[in-house]
Each structure stands twice: as structure tokens, then as C-alpha cells.
Amino acid sequence: MVFSSMSFLLLFLPIVLLCYYLAPSLRARNAVLVAASLLFYAWGEPVCVLVMLLSTATNYFCARVIAESEGRQKKAACALGVGVSLAMLVYFKYFGFLLDNITALLGLSLRAPEIRLPIGISFYTFQVLTYTIDVYRGKAAVQKSFWRLLLYVSCFPQLIAGPIVQYADVASQLDERRVGAEDFTAGMSRFVTGLGKKVLLANLCGAAVEAMPGASASFLGAWYHAFVYTLQIYFDFSAYSDMAIGLGRALGFQYKENFNYPYVSLSATEFWRRWHISLGSFFRDYVYIPLGGNRRGKARTIVNLLVVWALTGLWHGAAWNFMLWGLYFGLLLVLERTLLQKPLERAPASLRWAMTFLVAVVGWAIFYETDLHTLRDTLLAMVGLRRVDGALAGVGLLDVGSAAVMRRYGLFPLLAFACSLPILPALTARLEKRPRLLASLRAVCPVLLFALSLVFLVGQSYNPFIYFRF
């Protein structure tokens, strides 16, 4: 079940909200959310929900041991909880990839079995790890109630595509939270904003990407494909984050922001402070800093950065293009910290923005193509080349199929790009001088946007969430 499906919008969500607000106590509301979250996950993953339950139960008992132990026993309990969860992640997500590459390297004929990837396993695994590790570090108190821990791990707004919520950030909200009319209104308004972003922008960008004949068909076709996919992945993922944060607020949870207009960034470093903020925070707090961060000299800092970005790439998927994508950004960040720091400081802001956006577009082209041969052809087309009988030749400026897609979608990509910029906050700031008009727009716009989204959903056949596969 996805947030932008009719079954969720018109059936699941209204019933859950009604039951939640009719519940007489926080304990009853938590029970409603646990039941709803398990149903939400089991809707499409009836067997794989057991994986999530096993991971949660293991870390629940290990954390209890950690809280009551010292020395080796404490370390062993932490290692067991972390190890079991990571082992399940590796098995379901990476076993086939590892076996295929090992057998290819050794010249064997073994084939990996078909293993269904549980939706959202990368997200909820990282969440449960923050709990066990925070208890071990003394950053969070042990959760004595298994059901509250399960609520933290399985809470349906952020269960299958984030944001990654660290346990210490919401621990107190599991035990005590209140939802006023303002919270509910603001939360649902944020949810509808995300829904509109998904249905009206991400889905149309995705349809354009799917309609392209191939990213390597021509020079302009390759860049158009990469540009529109750059917009699709932003609107798709940030839309889900908007909906998750909005639903969380409507239910009394305060989730941190996950996106902050990344396409206005003036450097790759700034881009990653604005993109998927919760993932960056996780790798900083639980990988980069434990490795030594930047405290052990420049050489070690560079190694630590490359390790983190290799893992960031692999987190997104079991394919070599994700590893290349992670190392691509890792190398860029290293260069910005070393050779490019002073030149970037002296460069005009417009040039820095243009270069950063170009870097992002090329990065998303790498991210998109899981087949390395296709990726090679795409990158060659982006520099005006193609392979013919093993040799390099010029690629055409624009192919017929790509031209047809461009005509069909017209100026829509430019409109979508404008929507990726912080125009709405600027308009809101201007309207604050006219509070009545602003209040009227805040009341009317979400209703109109929700109705328009439903109309589009009825006629759309393309409605996936990209990050569900991670």
C-alpha cells in the first residue's frame, strides 16, 4: 500500500484516524497505531512482516541485557542485536548480488536463489539499530515495553521509506504526546502538499522518463532523461517525506525535516546537507564519527569519507552503479575539502550553483542505470559520443523518439524545476503582511490540492514510489 493509492487515502487513513482519535487513552492510541502499522505493512508483505518483528524482538531483548550488564556481556549483547539485524539486511538485500559476483569471479555456474526484498528493510533496520546503539552508549534509556519499541520501528507514516527516525528523537513521544487542532490541521496540510507533489509532479516526471526511448539515444536525449529523472527522484522522495512528517504530526510525533531544497545548493557538501538529511545524520553519527571522523588527520578523514560514501551507495541498492554513485559523491566531497575549497570560495555564486546542479544531474544518471554497459553508453552520450564496433564515434544531437517526448511534455519539466526551488516559502513570507488572505489560502489550497490529486490519480497508471525498492 502506498500513500498515493485510493485504498490508503479513502479507506485506510480515514479509519485509522477515526479509531485513533476515539481511543480513550495514549495506551489505546498506541495500540491502534501498532495494529494499523502491522496491517499497513502486511497489506503487501504478509510474510516479510515477520522479518521486521524478529529484528525488533531481538534488539528489544538485547537492549534489556545491555541495560542490566557491564563489560563483555554488554558488548556482546550490543553486537548480537546489531549483528542479527544487519545479517537479515545483508541476506535479503545483498546475498544474491554477492553470490553472483563471487561465482562470476571464480568462474562457477551457481545461481542465487530468488529472494524477495522486504519493502523498507533498509529504513527500519537502521531505526532499530539506533535504539540498540543509543542504549549501549547511554544516550537513551532502555524501552521496557516491547509494544512501544514496536511502535517506534513499525509506525506506518515512516515505516517503508523514511525519514530515518533516531530513537532518541522520539523516545519521549512514545510515552507522552498530545495532538491539538493546530497540529492536526498543519499535519494534514503537510500531507496533502506531499500528495500533490507526488501525484502532480513526481508521477508526471516519471512518466516522461519511462517514455524516453533510451538515455543513450542522443546527446540531448541523454541530458533530458537525466534532468527529468533528477526532478522525479526529488519530488518522489521529498513527497513521501512530506507525507510522513505530516501524518506524524497529525498523530502527535515530531519528525525532523528530511529535505531542504537541495537544488539550490552551491556545493556538493551543501547538497548533502539538504538531501535525505536523516540518512546523512545516521551515517555521520553511527559510522563516520565512530571511525574517527576528521580527528585523525587528513589521510584518515579521506578514508573515512570514502568508506561512508561507499556504504551510502550500497545502502541504496545491491548493484555496482550504486557503489559508483556513492564513490562519485565521496570523491567530490574530498575534492571540495582539499583542492577546491579556496577556488569555490572565490567563484561567483551563480557558477557554483550551476556546477553543483550539473554534478547532481550526472550523479542521478549514474544512480538510474543499474546495468553498467547501459550506464557507460549513457555517460558517453552525455559527452556526445557512442560506441560503434568497439570504437568511439559521435552521437546524434537529438533522436526522433526523444524529440517526441520533449514535444509531448513541453514546458512541464521547467515548471517542475521551478517547483523544486524555495518559491513557496518566499511567497508565504510576502503574504504574512496580509494575514487574512494567507489564512484563507491555507484553508482553501489544501482542499483544492487534495481534490486535484484525486482527479489525477483516477487517470494515472504510473504511480510507484522509487525509494520503496531501497
pLDDT in tens, 18-28: 999 999 999 99
The whole-chain average pLDDT of the chain stands at 91
Q: CB neighbours (10 Å) of residue 466? A: 18
Q: Per-residue confidence at 464, pLDDT binned at 50, 70, 90?
A: low
Q: Can you give the pLDDT at residue 467?
A: 61
Exposure string (b/e) for 170-183, b if CB count within 10 Å is 16 or more? bbebbeebebeeeb
- Tens digits of residue pLDDT in 196-245: 999 999 999 999 999 998 878 899 999 999 999 999 999 999 999 999 99
Determine the residue type at 164. Answer: I
Q: Per-residue confidence at 461, pLDDT binned at 50, 70, 90?
A: low
Percent pLDDT > 90 in the chain is 70
pTM: 0.93
The answer to whether residues 40 and 156 touch, using CB atoms and an 8 Å cutoff, is yes
Q: Per-residue confidence at 470, pLDDT binned at 50, 70, 90?
A: low
Would the pLDDT of 404 be above 80?
Answer: yes
Would the pLDDT of 13 be above 80?
Answer: yes
Rounded to whole angstroms, the Cα distance separating 51 from 42 reads 11
Percent pLDDT > 70 in the chain is 98
Q: Can you give the pLDDT at residue 391?
A: 86
Rounded to whole angstroms, the Cα distance separating 205 from 233 reads 9
Rounded to whole angstroms, the Cα distance separating 49 from 1 reads 14
Q: CB neighbours (10 Å) of residue 73? A: 12
Q: Can you give the pLDDT at residue 468?
A: 59
Would the pLDDT of 345 be above 90?
Answer: no
Q: Which of 9-13, 160-164, 289-293 has the lowest mean pLDDT?
A: 160-164
Through-space distance between the first and last CA atoms of the chain, rounded to whole angstroms:
16
Q: Per-residue confidence at 101, pLDDT binned at 50, 70, 90?
A: confident
Q: Can you give the pLDDT at residue 305?
A: 93
Q: Which of 72-76, 104-108, 155-159, 246-250 has the lowest mean pLDDT?
A: 104-108
Would the pLDDT of 110 be above 80?
Answer: no
* Residue 379 grid cell: 555517460
Active site residue 225: no
Q: Can you give the pLDDT at residue 107?
A: 80
- What is the mean predicted confidence (pLDDT) over 385-390? 86
Would the pLDDT of 377 be above 90?
Answer: yes
Q: Can you give the pLDDT at residue 463?
A: 62
Q: What is the DSSP code (8-state) at residue 392?
A: E
**Across 86-90, 426-430, 437-441, which has the greatest mean pLDDT?**
86-90
Q: Can you give the pLDDT at residue 224?
A: 96
Q: Pick the catalytic residue from 225, 276, 316, 373.
A: 316
